[in-house]
Amino acid sequence: MICNAFTCKTNVWLLAAFMMFFGDIAMASSLKLADPSELAGKWRVTQQDNPSIVCPLEFKANQTLGDGTECLVEWLEEQPIGWFPEPDGIALTGKEGSKIVFFSRQRDGLYRGTSKSGLIIILEHPLD
């Protein structure tokens, strides 16, 4: 099929716009933002290299952290204060509200993050 430059260029732009629009819709529907109430409760935090050291951590429904934060200070090099869900994981925040560490979702109840120093940290929501 022979087309002039204007028609071909228009078709390419329309196709690109179509792919971007429907690609965003497909991606947005595949990543569900968890409700904070689904994630609130007791968690277990371990280091990948040394799983025998276990830090219990409490995620409160108001998106603050309860018991167990003092255990994480050494690993994160900063005191975690809060948390929030993201479409593909969970983030812990510091006193300024900035993100300290992001834990990517591996499967239901299991998340993995890397500290600023490169330490791999596992966050697990044990079944009650």
DSSP-derived secondary structure for 71-123: HHHHHHSS---EEEEETTEEEEE-TTS-EEEEEEEEETTEEEEE-TTS-EEEE
CA–CA distances in Å: residue 128 to residues 36, 41, 42, 43, 109: 17, 10, 9, 10, 12
User: For 38-44, what is the mean pLDDT?
Assistant: 94
What tokens appear for 35 in the block? 């409700």
Confidence of residue 56 (pLDDT cuts 50, 70, 90): very high
Fold of 36-124: Lipocalin (2.40.128)
pLDDT digits (tens, 9 = 90+) for 74-120: 899 999 999 999 999 999 999 988 999 999 999 999 999 999 999 99
